[in-house]
Amino acid sequence: MGVVHEALSQDIELSMGRHDRGVLDGLIRQWRSADADGKAAIAGEFRELLAAEDIKRRSAAVLFFERLPADDDGALLAEVEANPGRFEHQPDPWFGSGELRVLVAVALSRRMRTEAERDFVRGEAQRPHLGHRVVPGLLDTDRDWALSHVADVVKATPEALAAYVHGVTDDELTAVAAAARGALLPEVFEGVLAHHVADENLRTRALGA
């Protein structure tokens, strides 16, 4: 049994940092300070826990991969597809950071390596009330798609426009605003730009797009 299983079973006590909220934060911090072999061993244990029946262990694994660039070796998507009921409508019991399926989408949006992962994240981006969670990752990993599907994403999740505003260049903002305008109520569109675009000239240009 490795350090992850032992720590989650409370068979060992981790050295905790002053800002750690519990054993999961301690394990994340331990991964960050480990050498390559240590990182691989910890990630391997968390990959196994993605299939755990216990929601707290399964959630710990999802949060680990959502917070860190550790290699999930395709296990995140494989488990969601094989056992959707273990991830859909299952809240994170550690920090209350959302439904496990949403956290998987966020994790994959930052690390997409396969066409299947890309298709999954693109689909999640167009689900209601989810786009704002995955747009930041998509702008790093699948920028062309994200910029060409602004209307679809913000129509499903109006608050995703704020994520676009903070993730695009000034030159891209005009095109993003033009695409979003027709997908949102005028007061919502104008309110997001008023709140999130500080530069008056840039905001005026975006509002006139």
Summarised one tens digit per residue, pLDDT across range 68-102 is 999 999 999 999 999 999 999 999 998 888 899 99
Measure Cα distances from 26 to 4, 50, 133, 168 in Å. Answer: 10, 19, 25, 34
- Final residue belonging to a domain, choices 111, 140, 158: 111
| Contact between 151 and 180 (Cβ < 8 Å) | yes
Burial class (CB in 10 A: 0-12, 13-18, 19+), 34: middle
- Regarding whether 102 and 21 lie in a shared domain, the answer is yes
- The residue segments making up the domain with residue 57 are 1-111
Identify the DSSP state of 35: -
- Regarding whether 97 and 36 lie in a shared domain, the answer is yes
Q: pTM of the prediction? A: 0.89
Residue 99 pairs with which residues in a beta bridge? 91
Over residues 105-122, the mean pLDDT reads: 96
Share of the chain above pLDDT 90, in %: 78
What per-residue confidence (pLDDT) applies to 8?
Answer: 83
Q: Does 117 map to a domain?
A: no
Domain count, the chain: 2
Q: Does 207 map to a domain?
A: yes
- Regarding whether 98 and 1 lie in a shared domain, the answer is yes
Instruction: Map tokens 């109520």 to a residue.
Output: 185
Asked if the model's pLDDT at residue 11 lies above 70, the reply is: no
What per-residue confidence (pLDDT) applies to 165?
Answer: 95
- Regarding whether 143 and 98 lie in a shared domain, the answer is no
What per-residue confidence (pLDDT) applies to 97?
Answer: 87
**What does the CA dihedral 141, 145, 149, 152 come to, rounded to 10 degrees?**
-60
What per-residue confidence (pLDDT) applies to 59?
Answer: 95
* Contacts with 56 (C-beta within 8 Å, 6 or more apart), sequence order: 8, 93, 94
- Final residue belonging to a domain, choices 111, 143, 164: 111
- Regarding whether 103 and 1 lie in a shared domain, the answer is yes
